[in-house]
Every structure is written in structure tokens, then in C-alpha cells.
A = this chain, B = another copy of it.
Amino acid sequence: MTPPASCARPLTDKLAQLVALTLDEIAVLEDLQSTTRIVRRNREILTEGKKYDALFVLIEGVSIRYRILHDGRRQITNISLPGDFIGFPSNFFEGALYSVSALVDSVVSPVPFAKLFGVFGSHPRLAAAIFWSFACEAAMYAEHLIDVGRRSALERVAHFLLELLTRLKNIGLADDRSFRMPLTQELIADALGLSVPHVNRTLRQLRDDQLVSIERNMVIVMNVEELAALADFKKSYLGQFRMPGLVVDN
């Protein structure tokens, strides 16, 4: 059902959408991700406090980054989809700052820091493109923060659904208005700083208002416009990137 991992190159595809990559650059990029590892559903990919000498690229699957507070409350800071880097910025610290778990059986590829920084030195265009994906990740953090800090439960859930739809669409895992929700309501709650019952009620309200339709795992956004207006959602932070420094000759 799932294609062999070696066939999927989500990171390359993602960066290629940004910049037309040369064959050489593609080769370098593929070399970065040459070794892969399978991580089973519900196993940790990264563990808080451990030392790492690499970032990871998520080749296939879905993972969450989170922190668990002393009394068990959990905040999911971030959801990773195929093509995303895992471990930025966490792994750059003495002792990873967060744990990352696979939500489904996943394939990851470690990218040693040394290799990564090597590419930064030798392939400036690639460097800029990779840099972009970090910027994009940071932008999602900021947007997530606004969500949790100042939006109502309804707006939060709406924004969350639209962000997920947009991101899944970008990597070909959603069509224009529908996708399979990879998270349980408990996970959504922990991502949005809400309780499970309230997420459930909020989803119900969105359904009652004819804004979305949810059946089993399938989410259909019935009215993207209106939902976006409700959530104050602008997808610019997920896409339009400037590549100003691309023509760098030093």
C-alpha cells in the first residue's frame, strides 16, 4: 500500500518547488538522506535530554514534537509531515529540548550536522532552500502561538484544520478540500491547549455550522472561504518565500 521508502523523496520535492534544482544539487540532497530508519507507531524518534549529532528528515509518516510537564499536562508544539526536518532547533542544544514521537509507522533519515554544515559551505543555493524550511517551521511556531494565545477554541480548531489542509495539499496528501486527519481528538487537544471534550464539541459546532464535514477520519472543508475568515487564516506563512540571496557568488 505504501510505496517503498526509497521511492519517496519528499524533502527534495519540497525544495524543488522553491528553486529549480540542478542534478548536482539533487544528488547532494539525496546523499544527505541516504540512510533511513523505520520507527514504529508510538515509538520515540527523539528523546528529550538525549544528545544528538544529527537532524532527521521525515521521509514518510507523521510525528509530533511535545513536552510533558511534571504533572502530566502535555503540549504538542508541532506536527511533522513528510519532507519536514525533525530536531530543529531542539537537537542543537546539549540535551534535546523536546521528545518527538511517530504517530504511525514512519521512515526517518538522519542528517549529521557535519554533513549539513558541509552543504551550507559548498552549495549556497541548497543552503538557502534548507534555511527556508527552518524559517517556515519557525513561522508555524509563531502562528501556533497566536492561535493558542489569543484565539477562541472555535477559531483555533478552524485554523488548525486549515493549516493541516494546506500543508497536506503541499505534499500531495490532500485534495482541494479534504484530507485524512492523522490525529486523534486527544492529540488535537494537546496541540491546541484545549480539553478533549471541548475539542469534540468545537468540531461538532463546525459541523453544525456546515463549515466542515467529518466522517471517520475524513475531514472535508465545506466552505474554505468562510472557515478562513472565521479563523483569520492566511496561508502566506506556509508558502510564499523570497529567495533573495539565491544568486550568491562569494
Which residues of A does B touch, CB under 8 Å?
A: 51, 53, 65, 67, 69-70, 73-75, 77-78, 88-90, 92-95, 97-98, 113-114, 116-118, 120-122, 124, 127-128, 131-132, 134-139, 141-142, 144-146, 148-151, 192-193, 232, 236-237, 240-242, 244-245, 248, 250
Decide: B89 and A149 in contact? CB cutoff 8 A: no
Knowing A124-B121, A151-B69, A236-B97, say if A77 contacts B142 (CB, 8 Å): yes
Knowing A127-B120, A135-B89, A192-B149, say if A244 contacts B114 (CB, 8 Å): yes
Decide: A93 and B237 in contact? CB cutoff 8 A: yes
Decide: A114 and B248 in contact? CB cutoff 8 A: yes
Give me 10 other A-B pairs in contact (C-beta within 8 A), A93-B236, A148-B193 excluded: A67-B142, A73-B150, A75-B150, A92-B132, A93-B135, A93-B240, A94-B241, A95-B240, A120-B124, A138-B141
Decide: A117 and B124 in contact? CB cutoff 8 A: yes
Q: Which of B53, B89, B114, B244 contacts A113 (CB 8 A)?
A: B244
In the assembled complex, how far is the CB of residue A137 from the closest CB belonging to chain B, in whole angstroms? 7
In the assembled complex, how far is the CB of residue A123 from the closest CB belonging to chain B, in whole angstroms? 9
Complex alpha-carbon distance, A134 and B88, angstroms: 10
Complex alpha-carbon distance, A121 and B77, angstroms: 32
Decide: B241 and A93 in contact? CB cutoff 8 A: yes
Decide: B89 and A136 in contact? CB cutoff 8 A: yes
Q: Which B residues are in CB contact (< 8 Å) with A98?
A: 142
Complex alpha-carbon distance, A88 and B136, angstroms: 10
In the assembled complex, how far is the CB of residue A40 from the closest CB belonging to chain B, in whole angstroms? 25
In the assembled complex, how far is the CB of residue A107 from the closest CB belonging to chain B, in whole angstroms? 24
Q: Which B residues are in CB contact (< 8 Å) with A90?
A: 139, 142
Decide: A51 and B120 in contact? CB cutoff 8 A: no
Q: Which B residues are in CB contact (< 8 Å) with A244?
A: 53, 113-114
In the assembled complex, how far is the CB of residue A114 from the closest CB belonging to chain B, in whole angstroms? 5
Decide: A142 and B78 in contact? CB cutoff 8 A: yes
Knowing A127-B120, A128-B117, A193-B150, say if A134 contacts B95 (CB, 8 Å): no
Q: Which B residues are in CB contact (< 8 Å) with A242?
A: 51, 92-94
Q: Which B residues are in CB contact (< 8 Å) with A240?
A: 93-95
Knowing A93-B236, A93-B240, say if A117 contacts B148 (CB, 8 Å): no
Q: Closest chain B residue to A151 by CB distance? A: B69
Complex alpha-carbon distance, A96 and B94, angstroms: 32
